[in-house]
Amino acid sequence: MYNPLTGENEMAPVLDAKVHDEARQGEALLLETASKHNGRKLYIESYGCAMNFSDSEIVASIMTDMGFETTANYKEADVVFINTCSIRENAEQKVRNRLREFGAVKKQNRGLIVGVLGCMAERLKAKFLEEEKLVDVVVGPDSYRDLPNLIGSVDDGNKAVNVLLSREETYADINPVRLNSNGITAFVSIMRGCDNMCSFCVVPFTRGRERSRDPHSIVNEVRDLFNEGYREVTLLGQNVDSYKWTNEEETQRVNFAGLLELVAAVDPELRVRFSTSHPKDITDEVLFTIAKHDNICNYIHLPVQSGNSRVLDLMNRTYDREWYMERVSAIRRIIPECAISTDVITGFCTETEEEHQETLSMMDYVQYDFAYMFMYSERPGTLAAKRYTDDIPEDVKLRRLQEVVAKQQQHSHGRLKLQLGKVQKVLIEGFSKKSKLHYAGRNDHNAMVVFPVHDNYKPGQYAYVLAEECTTATLLGKIVD
């Protein structure tokens, strides 16, 4: 195995592992009990993208080191954190509603500290501290190391805020506390921030510029996870394809394809996924690396947003319709059975009916396995909010969204049907949501597979499952030898 860090060929070590017996699930984020407690309890909730959930694991580690114990009940907590998202308006409304619930408890428990973390913290710090009157501490995504000082300031009777962005912070040396974990799958952050100035997006303003994490620390974290029994990692970044790391001496360089090689080499029994890719940056080198390694899943999330070149230009996506279609063709050529998912926004500023139809035709061309689909929601501070008028009526946005959703449901069902009659290698994640008599897990293409419990298998193991039926979103089958 070629190691881009050393420039040498080496064999990947075979590591022993202990598989967790049970999958632990729950809506509230739970933490491991700290070995040394200060008598105070912590509760955390996360909203939005996987990066936010990953950040909460970093916060959990910092707070655990401070001696905090945790609780699944915010009504008995001494500190309540809500990790926020600013991508869509409804996410902000959910956070505000939740803060009011916390506020009712705060009135009864004068010592309760309520904190807002993440993207909304940076953007709405003044409103939270001055207008809402419900929040004691506001912490941006790059300031979590300052939590001991901030909590101390609140303990002294002050409000506390730190939303400074950093060009260096990656939290590479912090060992995350796995939250809401099933002990089998885990997120691993490989980079922070974003340099793409998509006109509809607040991320560059709330998370700062791109910086990539030291690959040594990434591989060490992944190896530790494998030794603890985890069997799947998802490498996270706003744009993983732009990952690039160079040591101080500039003698070692690792791009995303090289990082995939390193992580895949940890153990062949470890599945590797990643999110999110950007169409302008995903290279053939990355695609050939996926094709080369059986344990790198044949699944790529490739947001299109719109199928029309003029709208893509207004969105500042830096690619056009033809470029995107060429990248899809490359995926189909190099990884023939690769699953592709996407993001779609309907009703962006000035979008015409004909341009909307081009988005639908792009969906027909790609035949996405899955999609996240939204109506355009203007976000304050973005380039689109400054430059363009949000001029598409809400009923038109909704109707276009409904058409996109209906088409995607057809495609998702059709893609699942192609897997019927085939044996799927499934990583068992736990019991089905509907029945303790059935296991559930995902296959290589990220499709959920449900099958009867078998005495010889347990969560954390791989099972070969013959797909016999499917719903619009799930494969149904049975274990085969």
Residue 8's beta-bridge partner residues? Answer: 3
Q: What is the DSSP string of 177-230?
A: PPPS--SSEEEEE-EE------TT--HHHHH-S-EEPPHHHHHHHHHHHHHTT-
Distance, in Å, from the CA atom of 159 to the CA atom of 172, rounded to the nearest integer, reads 29
The distance from CA 238 to its chain's CA centroid, rounded to whole angstroms, is 9
Residue 40 in this model has a pLDDT that exceeds 80: yes
Instruction: Say whether pLDDT at 211 is over 80.
Output: yes
| SS3 label, residue 339 | strand
What pLDDT was estimated at residue 37?
Answer: 67
d(Cα 54, Cα 172) in Å, to the nearest integer?
12
Alpha-carbon distances of 61 from 33, 44, 67, 168, 394, rounded to whole Å: 11, 12, 10, 20, 43
Q: Which two tokens stand for residue 372?
A: 């996240």
The set of residues, in sequence order, having a beta carbon less than 8 Å from that of 239 and lying 6+ positions away, is 191, 194, 195, 196, 210, 276, 277, 278, 281
> pLDDT at position 13, please?
26
Lowest mean pLDDT, pick from 61-75, 139-153, 330-344: 61-75
pLDDT reported for residue 371: 97
Q: How far apart are CA 203 and CA 60, in angstroms?
A: 22
Sheet holding 185-189, edge to edge: 185-189, 232-236, 271-275
Look at the alpha carbons of 314, 317, 320, 321 in this order and tell me if their dihedral is positive or negative: negative
Q: Residue 10: pLDDT band by 50, 70, 90 thresholds?
A: very low
pTM of the model: 0.85
Look at 249 and 256; give whichever has higher pLDDT: 256
| CATH class of the domain at 185-417 | alpha beta
Say how far apart CA 421 and CA 438 lie, in whole Å. 19
Q: The tokens of 162 are what?
A: 């730190």
Q: What's the average model confidence in pLDDT over 50-73?
A: 88
Indicate left, alpha or beta for 381 from its phi (over 0: left) and psi (-120 to 50: alpha): left
- Highest mean pLDDT among 61-65, 137-141, 215-219 belongs to 215-219
pLDDT computed for residue 69 by the predictor: 83
Give pLDDT, residue 128. Answer: 73
Mean pLDDT is lowest, of 5-14, 173-182, 292-301, for: 5-14
Residue type, 454: H
Least confident of 65-69, 106-110, 335-339, 442-446: 106-110
pLDDT of residue 31: 39
pLDDT bin (cut points 50, 70, 90) of residue 36 is: low
pLDDT at 387: 96
CA distance 206 to 119: 5
Reported confidence tier of residue 27, pLDDT bands at 50, 70, 90: very low
Burial of 299 (0-12, 13-18, 19+ CB in 10 A): buried
Where in the chain do CATH 3.40.50.12160 domains reside? 26-162
- Determine the length of the chain: 481
Nearest residue to 151 (alpha-carbon basis) of 38, 45, 31, 30: 38
Task: Say what the pLDDT of residue 436 is.
Answer: 94
What is the pLDDT averaged over residues 41-46?
A: 90
Lowest mean pLDDT among 24-33, 271-280, 423-432: 24-33
What is the CATH superfamily name and number for domain 26-162? Methylthiotransferase, N-terminal domain (3.40.50.12160)
The answer to whether 87 and 379 are in contact (CB under 8 A) is yes
Domain 423-479 in this protein, CATH class: mainly beta
Span 265-274, average pLDDT? 98
Cis peptide, bond prior to residue 234, ω within 30 of zero: no
Supply the mean pLDDT for the chain. Answer: 88
Amino acid at 98: R
The mean per-residue pLDDT over the stretch 170-195 comes to 90
pLDDT at 463 over 50: yes
| Predicted confidence (pLDDT) at residue 33 exceeds the cutoff of 70 | no
Task: Say what the pLDDT of residue 131 is.
Answer: 59
Q: Give me 207's structure tokens.
A: 């998370």
Higher pLDDT, 208 or 257: 257
DSSP letter (8 states) at residue 164: -
**What is the pLDDT, as a whole number, of residue 132?**
58
Of 87-96, 226-235, 246-255, 304-313, least confident by mean pLDDT is 87-96
Amino acid found at 446: N
Mean pLDDT on 452-456: 94
Amino acid at 412: S
Mean per-residue pLDDT, 158-180: 88
Question: Cβ–Cβ contacts within 10 Å for residue 153, how many?
Answer: 17
220-239 b/e (C-beta count within 10 Å ≥ 16 → b): ebbbebbeeebbbbbbbbbb
pLDDT of residue 446: 97
Residue spans of alpha helices (H) in 367-435: 383-387, 394-417
Q: Describe the chain by its helix, strand, coil percentages, rounded to 5.
A: 35, 25, 45
Q: Which residue reads 């869509």 in tokens?
A: 88
**104 has pLDDT over 90:** no
Domain with CATH 2.40.50 in the chain: 423-479
Q: HSE-up of 119 (CA within 13 Å, CB side)?
A: 31
State the span(s) of the chain assigned CATH 3.80.30.20.
185-417
449-459: average pLDDT? 96
The predicted model gives 260-282 an average pLDDT of: 97
- Residue 81 reports pLDDT greater than 50: yes
Residue 249: both structure tokens together: 């001496």
Tokens of 168: 């260096």
CA angle 325, 244, 181 (to 5 degrees): 85
Average pLDDT over residues 180-209: 91
**Is residue 105 predicted with pLDDT exceeding 80?**
yes
- Split at pLDDT 50, 70, 90, the class of 1 is very low
49 pLDDT higher than 90: no
**Spatial separation of the C-alpha atoms in residues 116 and 119, rounded to whole Å:** 9
Indicate the burial class of 100 (C-beta count within 10 angstroms; 0-12, 13-18, 19 or more).
exposed
Give the lowest-confidence range in 78-87, 117-126, 415-424. 117-126
